[in-house]
A and B are shown apart, each in its own frame.
Chain A
Amino acid sequence: MIRTPERKPPLYLITGLVFGLVLGLVLAWLVWPVRVSSVGPSSLSGEDKEQYRLMVALAYAASGDMGRAQARLGLLGDADPVRALTSQAQTALANSATQREARALAGLAAELGSMLSSQQATLEAVNTPGSAEVGSPVDTAGEGARYSLESQQLICGAASDAPEVRVYLFNAENLPEAGVRMQLQSSEDQAELTTGNHPSEGPGYAEAEITPGEVYTLSIQDTEMMGAIQAAACQTAEGEPAWGSWQLIFHAIP
């Protein structure tokens, strides 16, 4: 009878592999770890993050640039930047030597919180069909009106833009008409507009910010022209929720 030799599993190969792995990891993680020479603010210690956050707030207090402040805070990787700012402001408030810092931190926390709430409301308006349906402005010009509506369009700009009514007026010769007085009115709000106050947009242009939830009427030279004007949500080209602006173009009736 012929006996076939018993084949043993190559345990020594597995042992060698494990030995090599352990040796390599000890070397790479403990003996000679990678020297990190350029990190982002999110890698700073808690105390250093506080100093960085404070500088963001002081810079915001100086420039008022919310977009930049938000981007800078984003680098810190805080789960809730508003809470982090508020908590730091409260700590600073307890020390009489850091009142200026406390004000800057609290100011940024308040502004950022307000902006994020507004963005959230816009997001809900855009993403929840029917929850905040807003119709288009309605042409209510009656007899005696000097102008007629040529076009109306919802313009979607940047996500940080406030909702506005933007009016372009042209005279009978199709030229922009400056110095025309208009009123934008709601039950809570009233604004006076005059064409030509924004030269960069042309002499026949006027604009006014509107408050979401309010319903406005637009009058030109004391004659009501448009009703049911409301802030409407839209999506920017980048797909972000935003408040749109109503662009209304009027021509004088010859």
Chain B
Amino acid sequence: MNIRYALFGLTILTGFVFAVYQGWAQRPVSAQDAPPNMLRADFQSDYILMVAEAYGTDGDAQRAISQLGFLATDGEPYNPYGMASDALKFGEENGYSSRDLDLLLALQSGLLSFDPNFATAEP
């Protein structure tokens, strides 16, 4: 009888371990409709580079700040200057071209001179 209980417990444990492995490692819940602040660091930096490219043409810092709010958590304050600085650092460490680094630098400078106050992401 004791052996039967032990075997019963062992099969439960086996099933449990297998299911947890499947559920976490093999078939995790999909990340659909993820918020933008969960984008991988390189995608976030590329998004900021896009903002910098647009800013390089129109020079509109207010628009750039609003566009950077995309990467912020809804309703939370965010620091556009810090975002541009982070992207610049990421670009320097990951071999962005000098043209791209110049664009990010221009965005960073533009944000500093425009308004150092933090913005708030629209909920």
- Is chain B found bound to chain A in the same assembly? yes
Give A7-46 as 1s and 0s: 1 = Cβ < 8 Å from B's Cβ atoms.
Answer: 0001011111111111111011100011011111101110
Do residues A37 and B38 form an inter-chain contact, with CB atoms below 8 A? Answer: yes
Of all chain A residues, which has the CB nearest B30? A43
Inter-chain CA distance A59–B56, complex, in Å, is 9
Tell me, yes or no, whether B51 is within 8 Å of chain A by CB. Answer: yes
Tell me, yes or no, whether B22 is within 8 Å of chain A by CB. Answer: yes
Q: How many residues of A contact B (CB 8 A)?
A: 41
Tell me, yes or no, whether A62 is within 8 Å of chain B by CB. Answer: yes
Find residues 3-17 in chain B having any chain A CB closer than 8 Å to their own CB.
4, 7-17
Chain B neighbourhood of A21, CB < 8 A: 15-16, 18-19
Min CB distance A187 to B, Å, is 40
Give B59-87 as 1s and 0s: 1 = Cβ < 8 Å from A's Cβ atoms.
Answer: 00000000100100000000000000000
Inter-chain CA distance A21–B12, complex, in Å, is 7
Tell me, yes or no, whether A55 is within 8 Å of chain B by CB. Answer: yes
Tell me, yes or no, whether A51 is within 8 Å of chain B by CB. Answer: yes
Most chain A beta-carbon contacts within 10 A, residue among B22, B34, B38, B40: B34
Do residues A38 and B39 form an inter-chain contact, with CB atoms below 8 A? Answer: yes
Do residues A58 and B4 form an inter-chain contact, with CB atoms below 8 A? Answer: no
Min CB distance B97 to A, Å, is 11
Tell me, yes or no, whether A200 is within 8 Å of chain B by CB. Answer: no
Do residues A43 and B31 form an inter-chain contact, with CB atoms below 8 A? Answer: yes
Min CB distance A97 to B, Å, is 12
Do residues B57 and A55 form an inter-chain contact, with CB atoms below 8 A? Answer: no
Tell me, yes or no, whether A75 is within 8 Å of chain B by CB. Answer: yes
Of all chain A residues, which has the CB nearest B20? A24
Residue from the list A27, A51, A58 in contact with B20, Cβ < 8 A: A27
Tell me, yes or no, whether B116 is within 8 Å of chain A by CB. Answer: no
Do residues A34 and B53 form an inter-chain contact, with CB atoms below 8 A? Answer: no
Chain B neighbourhood of A40, CB < 8 A: 39-40, 43
Tell me, yes or no, whether A141 is within 8 Å of chain B by CB. Answer: no
Do residues B32 and A24 form an inter-chain contact, with CB atoms below 8 A? Answer: no
Min CB distance B51 to A, Å, is 7
Inter-chain CA distance A228–B32, complex, in Å, is 55
Residue from the list B11, B12, B13, B47 in contact with A55, Cβ < 8 A: B47
Residue from the list B11, B23, B46 in contact with A25, Cβ < 8 A: B23
Inter-chain CA distance A72–B10, complex, in Å, is 50
Shortest beta-carbon contacts, A-B, top 7: A28-B23, A20-B15, A24-B19, A16-B11, A38-B40, A36-B31, A59-B50
Residues of chain B having any CB pair with chain A under 8 Å: 4, 7-20, 22-24, 28-36, 38-41, 43, 46-47, 49-51, 53-54, 56-57, 67, 70
A-B residue pairs in contact (CB < 8 Å), sample of 11? A24-B15, A24-B16, A27-B16, A27-B23, A29-B29, A36-B31, A36-B34, A37-B38, A39-B40, A63-B53, A72-B50
